[in-house]
Structure 1
Amino acid sequence: MQRLVSGFILLVAFLSFGCKQASDIKAFTEAKYSLQEMHDLKLNGIDVMQKRNPSDFTTREGDSILASISENTLQASTTLYLQVQMQDPEIARQMTITRLKWQLLVDGEETLDGLVEKPLNLQNGLNELPINTIVKMTEQGGMRNYEELSKLMTLLAQKKDLRQKLTLQIKPTVQTPIGAIEVPEYITVSEPVNN
């Protein structure tokens, strides 16, 4: 009898934990995301935040980045400051993302994508997220999308406000008691409202 009672208590605890987690996943899916800041952007270990034009890169740095782009193995690392705004901010919620797919769109066209496989913790409010990912060009019909990459490079060279041209989308996978669950659709990350 004691075994049955213990099993029942464990089952109730598991179900209540599962319901709370399902509620948290739904809340995070419906939340508004905005990218507040990005610090220490490095491509293949090269700090590109201080580079303003192609002549700022050494020949070795330029060759490294170009080779990685052509091989689709460009390594990026940065720290993102992501604001998560919940519909019910008074309820404390937390979510651990086990994998994070992302994609960058230029004028609505998929241009770059990647996958972050290091766990990230999200909560309501400002989140500091260290990101390490391979940056890949998207493909159309089995061919790499050099046209959209060219558009992105042109926009960067013009040194204008890119927020109306670029869209960042994320698609997290979270671990649950019944296994890993990927949210069904990409979530668009907007720019800060006050900028």
Structure 2
Amino acid sequence: MNYKRITTWLAIVVFLSTFSCKQASDLKAFTEANYKLQGIEDLRLNGVDVTDKRTPFDFRTAEGDSLLSAFTTNNLSATTTLFLEVEMQDPEVARSMQITNLEWQLLVDGKETLTGNVDEPLNLQDGLNELPVVSTVTLAEVEGLQNYEGFSTLTTLIAKGRDVRDRLVFRIKPTIKTPVGNVTLPDYITVGQPAGS
């Protein structure tokens, strides 16, 4: 009886140590991976579809009033679908990772402009990931004041119909589920643009 119990415990310990090594390897691989934003679909702010909006005249009065109120009270939320390409250093090894929380930043001309947080679990794997996202959207602060200047620059560029990708930087800081608890990466990861964009 004792021999069977000892054998069972040894098997459990071996399994857990193997599992932990795999998790540590996966964590390292995802930290070193290249991330590229391939596209965004159905972007809504507080329920208003803003995908094709370019000027204030594109919004109905009620939509504009609702968004202006949310904007001035810093109470915006976004829903969208992100298409995120994850390129592993070692693509022949199957890996997956569950993100329990995702902090993000959008920088305009090198200055933090918008920040947010996704607290719904997201599952990542090597290759193209289609991620339904629900996130807070907050104006970043500069010296204790909201960065309206950066947001104004962003909206002006979009209103002019210009390709603004070379002026934007999108960064993420994921919290990853592991067998020993959630681990938040210490630094933000910069999400690049697809090749040829």
* Pick aligned residue for 2:89 from 83, 87, 90: 87
CA distance in 1, matches of 2:13, 2:145: 51
Task: Please list, as runs of the form range in 1=range in 2, the aligned pairs for 1:47-62 lying within 5 A after superposition.
Answer: 47-62=49-64
Kindly tell me the number of residue pairs found equivalent between the two proteins.
195
Pairing 1:45–2:47 present: yes
Residue identity over aligned pairs, in percent, reads 54
- Secondary structure, in 3 states, of the residue corresponding to 1:50? coil
* Pick aligned residue for 2:183 from 178, 181, 184: 181
The amino acid that maps onto 1:90 is E
Query: Deviation per CA, 1:161-193, whole angstroms, max 9, x where unpaired?
Result: 111100110111011111100111101111111
CA distance in 2, matches of 1:15, 1:64: 53
The amino acid that maps onto 1:133 is S
* Pick aligned residue for 1:65 from 63, 67, 81: 67
Quote the RMSD (CA, aligned, Å). Answer: 1.0
Give 4+ residue runs of structure 1 displaced > 2 Å after superposition: none
Query: Deviation per CA, 1:99-122, whole angstroms, max 9, x where unpaired?
Result: 011010001111101110110010
Shift of 1:140: 2.1
Task: Please list, as runs of the form range in 1=range in 2, the aligned pairs for 1:1-195 lying within 5 A after superposition.
Answer: 1-195=3-197
- Secondary structure, in 3 states, of the residue corresponding to 2:159? helix
CA distance in 1, matches of 2:55, 2:153: 16
CA distance in 1, matches of 2:65, 2:101: 30
Q: Structure 2: which 5+ runs fail to align?
A: none
CA distance in 1, matches of 2:122, 2:26: 15
Shift of 1:2: 2.0
CA distance in 1, matches of 2:141, 2:38: 29
CA distance in 2, matches of 1:152, 1:44: 19
Decide whether the 8 Å contact of 2:54 with 2:158 is kept in 1. no
Shift of 1:157: 1.4
The amino acid that maps onto 1:182 is T
Query: Deviation per CA, 1:65-89, whole angstroms, max 9, x where unpaired?
Result: 1111111111111001000010111
Query: Deviation per CA, 1:26-83, whole angstroms, max 9, x where unpaired?
Result: 1011011101111000111111113232101011111111111111111111001000
The amino acid that maps onto 2:40 is M
Q: Structure 1: which 5+ runs fail to align?
A: none
- Secondary structure, in 3 states, of the residue corresponding to 2:52? coil
